[in-house]
């Protein structure tokens, strides 16, 4: 059973990695850096941008002597934890798929960091060029109505989180049942 679990997870992780890298190679070849191609006007564009940070550009401005080893260390620790979860804990298919999606996503984004020094992001969703602006309790809140650009690896990792949340909420647990 364990061999089957690792095989299943390995295939999914490899598929995610290959799809992620293939789409990024296409972007690198076809979309000049900083350019955008509207797909659904005012809502969805294919763009070519780079992210030196984590999700939402977190730590993008940090010194690279800290940022680069930090991201490699986090990715390595996450990969080890996921393999341990697959080996020791993951018995249901949802958890195995979630672990595989995260592994494939981590591998895709780390490959970019190694090869390019940053992660290629290319999917951009936004509401025209609108900006939310509202004063609440005397504070002016202002931000663009757009989602930070992302890629296939990011989608896989997000899907894994959703799968784990669904799995966690769908399990019937009774408080104190093990006493």
Chain segment 103-145, per-residue pLDDT in tens: 999 999 999 999 999 999 999 999 887 888 888 898 998 877 8
Q: How confident is residue 171, by pLDDT bands cut at 50, 70 and 90?
A: low
Residue 129: predicted pLDDT:
77
Nearest to 16 by CA among 119, 122, 103: 103
With a cut of 60, say whether residue 179 has pLDDT above it: no
- 3-state DSSP percent of the chain in helix, strand and coil, to 5: 55, 20, 20
In the chain, count H helices and then E strands: 4, 4
Question: Active-site residue 121, yes or no?
Answer: yes
Residue 1: predicted pLDDT:
60
Residue 30: predicted pLDDT:
97
Q: What's the pTM value of the predicted model, to 2 decimals?
A: 0.84
Residue among 20, 121, 129, 178 flagged as catalytic? 121
> In angstroms, how far is the first alpha carbon of the chain from the final one?
30
Question: Active-site residue 92, yes or no?
Answer: no
Query: What does the block give as tokens for 139?
Result: 């504070």
Residue among 20, 45, 154, 178 flagged as catalytic? 154
pLDDT digits (tens, 9 = 90+) for 43-60: 999 999 999 988 877 888
73/30 Cα distance (integer angstroms) = 32
pLDDT digits (tens, 9 = 90+) for 72-98: 999 999 999 999 988 887 778 888 999
Residue 177: predicted pLDDT:
47
């Amino acid at each position: 059973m364990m061999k089957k679990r690792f095989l299943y997870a390995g295939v999914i992780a490899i598929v995610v990695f290959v799809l992620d890298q293939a789409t990024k190679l296409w972007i690198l070849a076809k979309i000049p850096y900083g350019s955008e191609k509207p797909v659904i006007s005012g809502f969805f564009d294919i763009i070519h941008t780079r992210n030196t940070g984590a999700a939402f550009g977190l730590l993008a401005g940090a010194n690279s002597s800290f940022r680069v080893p930090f991201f490699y260390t986090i990715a390595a620790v996450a990969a080890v934890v996921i393999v341990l979860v697959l080996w020791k804990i993951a018995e249901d298919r949802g958890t195995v798929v979630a672990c595989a999606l995260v592994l494939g996503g981590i591998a895709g984004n780390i490959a970019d960091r190694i090869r390019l020094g940053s992660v290629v992001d290319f999917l951009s969703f936004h509401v025209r060029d609108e900006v939310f602006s509202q004063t609440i309790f005397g504070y002016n809140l202002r931000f663009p109505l757009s989602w930070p650009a992302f890629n296939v690896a990011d989608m896989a990792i997000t899907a894994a989180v959703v799968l784990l949340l669904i799995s966690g909420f769908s399990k019937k647990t009774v408080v104190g049942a093990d006493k």
